[in-house]
Amino acid sequence: MVEILLDATVRAGTPILFATLGAILNERAGIINLGIEGLMLIGALAGFAGTFYSGSLLIGVLCAFIAAFVAGSIHALITVPLRGNQIVSGLALTMFGIGVTALFGRGMVGETIVGLERIALPGLSQLPIVGRALFQQDLLIYISFILVFLIWFFLYRTRIGLGLRTVGENPAAADTCGISVSLYRFLAVTTGAGLVGIGGAYLSLAMTPMWIENMSAGRGWIAVALVIFSGWSSHRAMLGAYLFGGITAMQLRFQAIGTDISTHILQMLPYIFTILVLVVSTIRLQKGSSQQPQGLGQPYDREDRK
């Protein structure tokens, strides 16, 4: 029972984990991205279509990354060199994603593929309680584990990661050290978007191997909230994503065994949780213990004094 619940937790948390990590990469460079929801949908559709036509899940995942990368570069173009409003551009990206996937996804509705398979790691997968949840999963989940560490390592142990954090904190300081603020920001936004796309692909390739219109169902927004909850750090993003995954898993379980509580209320739980997360993290933000990048949301213009 616990084993199954934990397993469902990880699986439900993974798409959000990818999306949150992608968004963290964006915001660490100082760019707010409210287009996560749209990017997830684009990733989900591209991943599904890629797999459907090529027959290869790997190509599908790659398609998801590339499609979201390209869509993310619209946001990057508007916010970095053109210094447009990041909020507006992000919202537009979400609406674009919803619309464009509804349109091009029509042909995919009802099609099926063989979803990602579980790979049991020898030995480890036999561990009691956590064995199934952590070591008997599909490839993307293993990749997400590694990614959490990699992003931390990149940000805190490499020169380029330090440069990226500086670009997000104080772009002028980065600029005077000879770092190209535009290049760092552009690549952070697009690469982050690519990760969000993989999160979307997880929905259509592993969780429910099919394309359903608007299948992200608000998960992109939850990722946006989790960025704040995580304090812009990758391992806390993992915690947040699995907390959310856990609540989703639990409410599904409740629905399955049948309780007196209305399913509508059960389905609300993950979103209520999101609101709580936002309230708590906002209070923390106001207490000043925040990790928020100081240059977040501000376009950088070299000749403008700060």
Partner 1 sequence: MPELLQIEHIRKTFPGVIALDDVSFTVATGEIHTILGENGAGKSTLMNVLTGLYHPDSGKMCLDGTEVHFTSPRDSLACGIGMVHQHFMLVPAHSVFENILLALDKVPLLYNRKQYQQKIQKIIDTFELDLDLDTEVWKLSIGAQQWIELIKLLLRDCRLLILDEPTAVLTPQETDRLFRVLRLLQEQGKSIIFISHKMREVVEISDRVTVLKKGRSISTLDRGSFDREILAGLMIGQDKIPEWQKNLQMSENIVLDIRNLSVRNDRGLADLDQVSLQLKEGEILGIAGIAGNGQKALAEALTGLKPVTRGKIFAGEVDITHSTARSSYISGIAHIPEDRKSIGIAPDLDVADNLIMKSYKNPLFRRGFFQNRGAIRRNAEDKVSRFAIKTGPDGSPVRYLSGGNIQKVIIARELSENPRVLVALYPTRGLDIGSAEYIHKVIVEGAGRGMSTILIAEDLDELLKLSDRIAVMFRGRIIGYADPRRTTREEIGLMMSGERQDQAS
| Least CB distance to ligand ATP at residue 175 (A) | 13
The least distance separating ligand ATP from the CB of residue 8, rounded to whole angstroms, comes to 55
Of 172 and 269, which CB lies nearer to partner 1 in the complex structure?
172
Cα 236 from Cα 295, distance rounded (Å): 21
Binding site for ligand ATP (CB under 6 A): 303-305
Report d(CA 143, CA 141) in Å as an integer. 5
- For residue 177, the partner it binds in ligand ATP, partner 1, none, with Cβ less than 5 to 8 A by kind, is partner 1
- Between 13 and 295, name the residue whose CB sits nearer to partner 1: 295
- Joined tokens for residue 62: 């790659």
Residues 6+ apart with CB under 8 A from 136: 7, 118, 119, 120, 121, 125
Q: List interacting residues with partner 1 (CB under 8 A).
A: 157-160, 162-163, 165-166, 169-170, 172-180, 291, 294, 302-303, 305-306
> Whole-number minimum distance, CB 301 to ligand ATP, in Å?
9
Least distance from partner 1 to the Cβ atom of residue 180, Å: 7
The H or E element spanning position 103 is helix 86-104
Q: Whose Cβ is closer to ligand ATP: residue 264's or residue 306's?
A: 306
Minimum separation from the CB atom of position 306 to ligand ATP (A): 9
Phi-psi region of 199 (alpha: psi -120 to 50; beta: other; left: phi over 0): alpha
Give the residue with the Cβ less far from partner 1, 180 or 208.
Answer: 180
For residue 86, give the 3-state DSSP assignment. helix
Nearest Cα to 165, choosing from 27, 17, 70?
27
Q: Could you tell me the sign of the dihedral formed by the alpha carbons of 77, 41, 155, 165, in that order?
A: positive
Based on CB atoms, which residue is closest to partner 1, 30 or 131? 30
Q: How far is the CB of 32 from partner 1 (least distance, A)?
A: 18
**Which residues are registered as beta bridge partners of 51?**
none
264 or 305: CB nearest partner 1: 305
Indicate which of ligand ATP, partner 1, none lies near residue 287 (CB less than 5 to 8 Å, by partner kind). Answer: none
Helix (H) or strand (E) run with residue 136 in it: strand 136-137
157 binds, among partner 1, ligand ATP, none (CB under 5 to 8 A by kind): partner 1
| Contact indicator for 61, 204 with CB cutoff of 8 Å | no
Q: Give the H/E segment covering residue 119.
A: strand 119-120
